């Protein structure tokens, strides 16, 4: 299994190099050409039921994407033929949380000014509320989701070299780790505990604090599970929003 996923990993990176190279030329010629990621896409085939709902969640500042981002989306659909896909806009993230969260949680979310922090918050809340799989818009699975996630699994978290990452999370609803992470984020916002920026305020640092030394966490190493940047990069992801990546945000601008 790991040999197969590693082969897909390497093949995606190889193909992605050509995709990005071609895309520079393509978007130089067709400057305004964009491809629409659907708000919803039904499962293309039927599959076994699982405790983790078969829903893929993604979000970005727009579903009107450049060619590399769209190809990344298509690759993920290939890896999830028996999964439903849902794209959630910036506006709909807020509406979802307003509909399902407490006043305290909504107030905390509305203090965030950066899109990445909002997405960090929203992914944890959505997975804890509805369940499914979240992947960053530039991330893609390297093995079919239903082959990685077993019917009885309640969660699957992504391990990088030394810590958990939040660019891929699979979970059933009511996950205690995600609830703890959400509580930490709300407290960080209320106490204006920005720390090292987005990474500490709402990002992977929070998830790792929530998990601590729990050895029962179901996990997979990233290179056999989900990787980033094969088909796209910051330029193509933020072509319509220059310097929109969270790394360009000043710490004193993260909260209202």
The predicted model scores a pTM of 0.95
Q: Which domain holds residue 237?
A: 2-253
Structural domains of the chain, count: 1
Q: Do the bridges between strand 40-41 and strand 84-88 make them parallel or antiparallel, or are there none, so unpaired?
A: antiparallel
Judged against a pLDDT cut of 80, whether residue 215 lies above it is answered with no
**Mean of pLDDT values over 149-178:** 96
Q: To the nearest whole number, what is the mean pLDDT of the chain?
A: 96
pLDDT per residue as tens digits for the range 124-134: 999 999 999 99
Nearest to 68 by CA among 38, 24, 31, 28: 24
pLDDT of residue 171: 98
Q: Which two tokens stand for residue 229?
A: 């940047």
pLDDT per residue as tens digits for the range 218-248: 999 999 999 999 999 999 999 999 988 988 8
pLDDT of residue 1: 58
- Name the pLDDT band for 175 (thresholds 50, 70, 90): very high
Q: Which positions ≥6 away from 64 have C-beta within 8 Å?
A: 34, 35, 36, 37, 240
- Name the pLDDT band for 251 (thresholds 50, 70, 90): confident
Nearest-angstrom CA–CA distance, 222 and 160: 6
Handedness of CA 87, 69, 65, 106 (dihedral sign): positive
pLDDT per residue as tens digits for the range 178-206: 999 999 999 999 999 998 899 999 999 99
Nearest-angstrom CA–CA distance, 183 and 162: 24
Judged against a pLDDT cut of 80, whether residue 88 lies above it is answered with yes
Nearest-angstrom CA–CA distance, 86 and 92: 11
**Mean of pLDDT values over 108-117:** 96
pLDDT per residue as tens digits for the range 35-55: 999 999 999 999 999 999 999
Give the domain CATH number at 158.
Answer: 3.90.550
| Residue 4 and residue 143 in contact, taking contact as beta carbons nearer than 8 Å | yes
């Amino acid at each position: 299994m790991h040999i197969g996923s590693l082969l897909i990993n390497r093949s995606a990176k190889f193909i992605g190099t050509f995709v990005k190279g071609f895309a520079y030329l393509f978007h130089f010629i067709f400057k305004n050409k964009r491809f629409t990621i659907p708000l919803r896409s039904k499962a293309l085939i039927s599959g076994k039921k699982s405790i983790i709902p078969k829903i893929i969640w993604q979000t970005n500042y727009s579903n009107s994407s450049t060619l590399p981002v769209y190809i990344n989306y298509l690759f993920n659909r290939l890896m999830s033929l028996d999964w439903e896909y849902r794209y959630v806009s910036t506006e709909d993230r807020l509406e979802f949380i307003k509909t399902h969260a407490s006043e305290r949680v909504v107030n905390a979310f509305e203090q965030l000014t950066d899109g990445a922090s909002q997405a960090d918050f929203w992914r944890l809340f959505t997975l804890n509320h509805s369940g499914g799989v979240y992947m960053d818009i530039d991330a893609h699975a390297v093995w079919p989701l239903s082959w990685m996630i077993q019917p009885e699994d309640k969660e699957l978290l992504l391990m990088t070299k030394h810590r958990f990452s939040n660019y891929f999370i699979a979970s059933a609803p009511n996950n205690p780790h995600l609830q703890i992470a959400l509580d930490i984020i709300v407290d960080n916002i209320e106490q204006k505990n920005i720390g090292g920026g987005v990474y500490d305020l709402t990002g992977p640092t929070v998830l790792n604090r929530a998990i601590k030394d729990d050895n029962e966490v179901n996990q997979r190493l990233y290179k056999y599970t989900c990787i980033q940047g094969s088909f796209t990069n910051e330029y193509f992801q933020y072509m319509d929003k220059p310097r929109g990546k969270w790394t360009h945000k000043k710490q004193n601008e993260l909260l209202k």
